[in-house]
Amino acid sequence: MCYLIIKCGGSIAEKLSDSFYQNVAVLQTDYHIKPIIVHGGGPKVSTILDKLQMETKFIDGLRVTNEPVLEVVEMVLSGTANKQIVRNLLAAGAKGIGLSGADGKLLEAKLVANHEKVGLVGEIVSINKSLLDLLLHDLYIPVISPVAVDQNNRPLNINADEVAAALSKAFHAPICMITDVPGVMKDKKVLSTITKTQIEEYVENGVIKGGMIPKVKAAIDCIEQGVKEFVIMNGLEEDNLIKYVKKEPIGTLVCLEEEFADA
């Protein structure tokens, strides 16, 4: 494993301890893995929009984004949320560097098919991999906010899971989704693997519920896009990232093939 995509949702990023960031630094120094962090920040965006008395709503899981909303999205994601993670990496002794998709045209996107409904929301067209290669070669750890630009350099709001999936495909890297739970649970036990079919069944019968539903749906979306390995793990447990790269059983591996699933 040369690269690892670490996807942190906006809510979990604020809960991660110093040891998590120390683990990320150790991946680089001791295991010669090149981590790339992708983060969200939806709760922070919603909080600011509420304070500004700006209406926010979601359609099919996407935030409806007009120009005023996009200004807040970019301010929060590429500003406050991004720099908090960068500072935590610096404190851990790592060379964290914050980027948005606009920097060096890192992420180029186009409007999603249903943009008439959701507004300035995009889907990834290309990644400036050479820019990331330069940073990774010099042992920087990129921290990427999910705001891209289109061919005319207009900003677009992007789903962070889609950014993680695009990076995973570009670098042939697994994705670790960092959460505050140990994985997908069934009968009070963590499932070591789960398939798309099982996810659909467990969502329907209530085994998977609440905040885990969008996580497993994001995992399925990613592996359907060609991501080879997607693991949901608890970032609040000590050394889980290290255990993962050492191939110890951690979290839940999401897969398409039935034969790999838990009985």
List pLDDT tens digits, range 220-254.
Answer: 888 887 887 899 999 998 899 999 999 998 999 99
Collapsing DSSP states into helix, strand and coil, what is residue 194? strand
- 108 forms beta bridges with 126, 149
pLDDT tier at 255, thresholds 50, 70, 90:
confident
14-18, 106-110, 123-127, 210-214, range with the lowest pLDDT: 210-214
Query: pTM for the whole thing?
Result: 0.91
Cα–Cα distance, 13 to 123 (Å, whole number) = 23
* Residue 58: predicted pLDDT: 86
Nearest to 31 by CA among 200, 216, 239, 259: 239
Helices (H), ranges, 32-81: 42-51, 67-75
Mean pLDDT of the region 159-177: 91
Element (H, E) at 252: strand 252-255
How much of the chain is in helix, strand and coil states, percent to nearest 5? 45, 25, 30
* Residue 35: predicted pLDDT: 97
Nearest to 9 by CA among 176, 183, 245, 136: 176
Nearest to 26 by CA among 248, 241, 254, 255: 241
Element (H, E) at 234: strand 230-234
* Residue 1: predicted pLDDT: 64
Q: Which residues contact 57 (CB under 8 A, 6 or more apart)?
A: 63, 64
Q: Does position 260 have pLDDT exceeding 70, yes or no? A: no
Collapsing DSSP states into helix, strand and coil, what is residue 263? coil
How many CB atoms lie under 10 A from the CB of residue 129?
13
